[in-house]
Amino acid sequence: MRKHRRARPSFPRIIGLTGSIAMGKSTTAAMLRNLNLSVFDSDAAARALTAKNGAALAAVARAFPGAVNKGALDRKMLAKQVFNAPKKLAKLESILHPRVKAARRAFVRNATRARENAVVFDIPLLLETRAERECDLLIVVDAPAFLQRQRALARPGMTPALLSAVLARQMPAAQKRTRADIVIPSGLGRAFALRRLKKALRGLS
């Protein structure tokens, strides 16, 4: 394991899974679930926090007037408020990130009680938030830039300007690859990616 990982690995082993937008991370996470690993989905945790009656909804409503209407988050309105507004985005992250981290720790406690051998942290900004320090193994999902762009722009509501803004927040893909223990190329087919994943898991034991 690389020295920037957990200093004293213990069970469950923690696999960090990350990758820039449209690299194939969600597909890779699904493969890991199919291999019977529990996966903490940080995006899903954030959505739960801002769902109706979510633990972060009141704080978001106070910080972003008009973003919560009749007890429900207007995600498009919130996106408009933080788009190209670094201070507002930082405010949103200051509300969500500590709560997501608390949910992640609860996930690990549950896995420890269940005596699971390994679990997965599925975190888009894992390296950017330095969460790799909690991990024993770092997997980065990667694809050629042209394929990434093609996939991203095929998503509903995605525009070139929005894609550029998302990429500006993320560590460059080349830098992520240098930080990885294992790189999973998602452009070579699922069978190839699955073989790489199985090999990585064997090396974790």
- Closest by CA position to 28, among listed 36, 17, 37: 17
Assigned CATH for 13-204: 3.40.50.300
CA 169 to chain centre: 13
The pLDDT value recorded for residue 3 is: 47
Residue ranges of the chain with per-residue pLDDT less than 70: 1-9, 205
Q: Are 171 and 128 within 8 A, CB to CB?
A: yes
The residue extents of the domains of the chain are 13-204
The CA distance from 44 to 170, in Å, is 19
CA 120 to chain centre: 10
The CA distance from 26 to 65, in Å, is 32
- Closest by CA position to 47, among listed 94, 109, 102, 99: 99
The pLDDT value recorded for residue 7 is: 58
